[in-house]
Amino acid sequence: MEVLLAVVLQGALIGILIVGTETLPRGEWNERPLSLAQAKALQGFLALCIVFHHCAQKVVFDRWRTGFSPSGLEVMALIGFVFVGYFFFCSGYGLYQSCQRKRDYLDGFLRRRALPLLLIYYVCNTIYLVGRLAMGETFGALRFVGLACGLELANPNSWFVVTLPLMYLLFYFSKRRCIDEALVTRRLFVGTGAYILAGMVVSVVHRGDYMVFLGRWWYNTAILFPLGYLFGRREPEAWAWMRRSYRKQVTCSVALVVVSLLSSLMFWVVYPLVPIAMVLESLATICFTWSLLLFSLRRKAASRLLSFYGGLTLELYLMQGFFVNLFYRPFYDKGTDVLTIDNPPIYILLVLTCATVIALLFKRMTKMLLGEKVALRRESSCS
């Protein structure tokens, strides 16, 4: 019964996406498949998927350690990284669109875009550090200083607000004083490739004992950032191409997601070849984002729930990790649990409820610190 309820809950998640979007009449296309409302609705859905994924990881990996027993969450525990790519894609796409609309867009760019994310990172880091201490976790003096200064992530999920400012820096120095968009795009791909290579090297050499590149999720989706920028440059041609062979592309994109995911798992477990596995994971993320773009061509956002979570994606992503750990063993590095809820569906719903409430409070706090003019949409700007 527990497994069945977990499967039903995941089915309900898909149902939220279907009910939350409206199918267009046969022969009609969504004229603005990457509008802000449309992109936010999909991001809201993906934010919910990420919460489910992190909860599934805790349950599944705990059961694998103590003797395997099925939970119905095994697939969701392994595919979380594909949900992140769309956010990077929208960031790259949104930067291109913003540059086209505003000639002086780069004036004060780092102050407007990168610095607020760093402030959010430190606020989040402080909240998590206080929370972890309050729950009885202890740290040595040197590690406490590292956590307090933000040199180590008190919230491992805050890697996103470390990586995204790096992408903004890459964009700024690629675009500054350059009017050749083809050259800007090449610089973005080269810079992102260097970032990915650095992540792979650090992962192999240090094996997790470092501040950045704590896992492959730091870099296996980053390629979507320059791809989003390139898509913005070629948008009319890209949509026309998708419309010409829509059904074939839907089948192809879904099949490639499944095949690349299974292949990457094989190269992680059976044949531990990190570079090949990473490439396959990146391919899975690209194809998943491709499928979402195809989805947006035939459906329009029509849900207040998805719009609500679409406006809360960054805050929900940053805040949910505390409750993911609070309600299931172990609690971060403490080694023991604080309060474990062994029923996975109840655990997931409780995490989502608590994370939503705290995310709303966190959003209000950061708006007070940053000012109303600095909207918390930096991670996913779209036209």
Predicted pLDDT of residue 378:
44
85-101 and 160-175 helices cross at what angle (nearest 10)? 30
Question: What are the extents of the domains in the chain?
Answer: 2-380
CA atoms within 13 A on the CB side of 256: 19
Answer yes or no: is pLDDT of 207 > 70.
Answer: no
Lowest-pLDDT choice from 40-54, 63-77, 215-229, 248-262 = 63-77
Compute the average pLDDT of residues 136-165.
92
Compute the average pLDDT of residues 346-368.
95
Predicted pLDDT of residue 275:
81
| Residue length of the chain | 383
Angstrom distance (rounded) from CA 173 to CA 177: 9
Angstrom distance (rounded) from CA 227 to CA 343: 40
Answer yes or no: is pLDDT of 383 > 50.
Answer: no
Predicted pLDDT of residue 106:
92
Compute the average pLDDT of residues 338-362.
95
Predicted pLDDT of residue 376:
41
Strand stretches in the chain, DSSP E: 21-23, 299-301
pTM score, whole prediction: 0.93
Compute the average pLDDT of residues 231-245.
96
State what percent of residues in the chain have pLDDT above 70.
Answer: 94
Predicted pLDDT of residue 309:
96
Answer yes or no: is pLDDT of 302 > 70.
Answer: yes
